[in-house]
Amino acid sequence: MTIDVSTRPAAAVSNRLGIADCDIHHSPRDFKMLYPYLEQRWREHLDLFGQRPRQGNASGPQYPKSQPDASRRDAWPPCGGRPGSDLDFMRSHHLDANNIELGVLAMIRPHPGGLQNLDLSAALCRAINDWQVAEWTAPEPRLKASIVVPYEDAAASAAEIDRWAGHPDMVQVLFLSRTVEPLGNRRYWPIYEAACRAGIPVGIHAFGNGGQPTSSTGWHSHYIEDMIGHSQSCQSMVSSMVLEGIFARFPELRVVLIEAGFGWLPPLAWRLDRTWSRLRAETPHLTRLPSEYIRDHIWLTTQPMEEPDPAEHLRHTMEWIGMDRLLFATDYPHWDYDDPQAALKIRLSAAEREAFFIGNARSLYMPQTASASVTAAGVA
C-alpha cells in the first residue's frame, strides 16, 4: 500500500518570475536546539513532563506514515536532520531552485500555542521566536518569520507581539485554526488588538488541537476526513470572526488563512449574506454585509490549490475572492506541496500572475518595498 505522491526533483530551471512562498515550514533539527533560547526552569520542565498537547484530538500525529515528517521524500537534508531543519539545504533545494524572493516561515511543528500549560506555551513561543530570527531570518534575508503566540492566553500573546513590534523580520502573527473556542470570541480579541498595534497581519494556519471532535457529529474514521474537515473548521472560524464583529471592532485587522483552501469561501459568504440580511438584529455590532468584511479583511494562501472540474470554476472563485487576496504558497517541505511550475491550472494575465505569485504577498507583508519589487521582478 503506497501513498500516491511523486518525489519531485528540484526544478531544473529557475522561474523567470520571482516568487513569494507564503507557507514554508522550518523546524529545529532536534527539539533541544531550542534549549539555548529557554530558561533553565523550562528546560527542566520539558525534560520531566514533556509538552502535553491538549487532549482529545489526535489530528497532529495522523500524517501519512509513508511520508515521514509529512514531508516530500526528497526534502530530507543530505547532512541529516528533519525536512525544513537545514537552512543551507532549503536554500538550494527550494529558495534557489524555485526563485523564491520572499519566503514566509510558518512554524507549526511544533507550534506550542495549543499546549495545556499556558506558561510553558508562552515560554516556548518566546524561544521559537528568538531562535527563528537568530538562526533563519538573520542569515537569510529572503526569509521572513511569523511570531508564534500562546494563543489560548491572549494577554501573553499580546505581550509577545508587542515584544516584536517593528522588527523587520517578523511579518505576521501566527496561530492555528482549531482552538479551544471559536476564534471570534472575545478571549482572543487582545491578540487582534496587538496585531493592529504592530501593523502586521494575523496568519491562521489550518490544523491544531482544541480538544473538540473534528466534526459537529463527533469523530470520523479516516485521515482524509481530517484533511477535508479542516476546511469546515475554517468556515466556522470565519463565520465566528465576522459575526462576533472582529472586523468591525478592529478595522485595521488583516487575517491570512494559511493552508485552509479557498474554494469554500464564496458559498460561505453567500450564505452569510443571505442569512444575516434576515437576522441582522442579533448582531447589531455589524454595519456591513458579512461578505464586505470578508473581502476587505481576509487573505488566503493557495496551497492546497483548488482543482475544480471544469477548471474555469477556479477563475470564478478567484475573481469572487479578489485577485489581490490570494497568496501563492507551496507548503514546502510537506508531502502535499504545490509546485509553483504546475500549481495553477488556468491562464492568468501577466499582471494577475505577478499579483498571484509575488505582488500580493509583498503588498501585505512588505508594504515598504512593494512598489519597488514590481519593477525588480521584471514581469513581462
Subset of residues 17 to 76 that bind its own copies, contact rule: CB under 8 A = 64
Segment interacting with its own copies, rule: CB under 8 A, options 14-22, 78-86, 155-163, 262-270: 262-270
The single residue among 83, 229, 333, 359 that binds its own copies, judged by CB under 8 A, is 229
Q: Closest by alpha carbon to 173, among 142, 200, 209, 141?
A: 200
CA dist 193 and 227 (Å) reads 31
Considering only the stretches 42-50, 85-93, 227-235, 364-372, report the one whose residues sit in contact with its own copies under the rule CB under 8 A. 227-235
d(CA 214, CA 223) in angstroms, rounded, equals 11
Question: Residue with C-alpha cell 482549531?
Answer: 178
The binder of its own copies chosen from 193, 240, 323, 374 (CB under 8 A): 240
* Nearest distance in Å: CB 237, its own copies: 7
Residues in 74-133 at the binding interface with its own copies, rule: CB under 8 A: none
CB of residue 265 to its own copies, shortest distance in Å: 8
Does residue 271 interact with its own copies by CB under 8 A?
Answer: yes
Return the range that interacts with its own copies (CB under 8 A); candidates 46-54, 69-77, 152-160, 181-189. 181-189
Long-range contacts of 305-308 (CB under 8 A, 24+ apart): 305/338, 305/343, 305/344, 305/345, 306/261, 306/262, 306/263, 307/345, 308/263
Q: How far is CA 222 from CA 272, 305, 321, 336, in A?
A: 30, 21, 30, 17
| Shortest CB 186 distance to its own copies, Å | 9
Segment near its own copies (CB under 8 A); pick from 77-85, 258-266, 359-367, 372-380:
258-266
* The binder of its own copies chosen from 7, 14, 92, 277 (CB under 8 A): 277
Measured distance CA(291)–CA(294) in Å, rounded: 5
Contact region for its own copies (CB under 8 A) — 21-29, 95-103, 120-128, 231-239? 231-239
Kindly state the smallest distance separating residue 233's Cβ from its own copies, in Å: 5
Query: x/- binding map, residues 128-167, to its own copies, per CB under 8 A?
Result: ----------------------------------------
Provide the edge-to-edge strand list for the sheet that holds 19-24: 19-24, 100-105, 143-148, 170-178, 202-208, 255-258, 298-301, 326-327
Q: Give the separation between CA 130 and CA 92, rounded to whole angstroms.
A: 24
Instruction: State how far the Cα of 198 lies from the Cα of 167, in Å rounded to an integer.
Output: 9
Which set of grid coordinates corresponds to residue 314?
477556479
For its own copies, the binding residue among 96, 266, 324, 366 (CB under 8 A) is: 266
Query: According to the binding rule CB under 8 A, does residue 2 interact with its own copies?
Result: yes
Question: Is position 219 an interface residue for its own copies (rule: CB under 8 A)?
Answer: yes
Query: What's 81-103 look like in SS3?
Result: CCCCCCHHHHHHHHHHCCCEEEE
Residue 344 C-alpha cell reads as 495553477
What residues numbered 297-336 form the site for its own copies, per CB under 8 A? 304-309, 313, 316-317, 320, 336
Number of residues interacting with its own copies: please give it, by CB under 8 A. Answer: 76
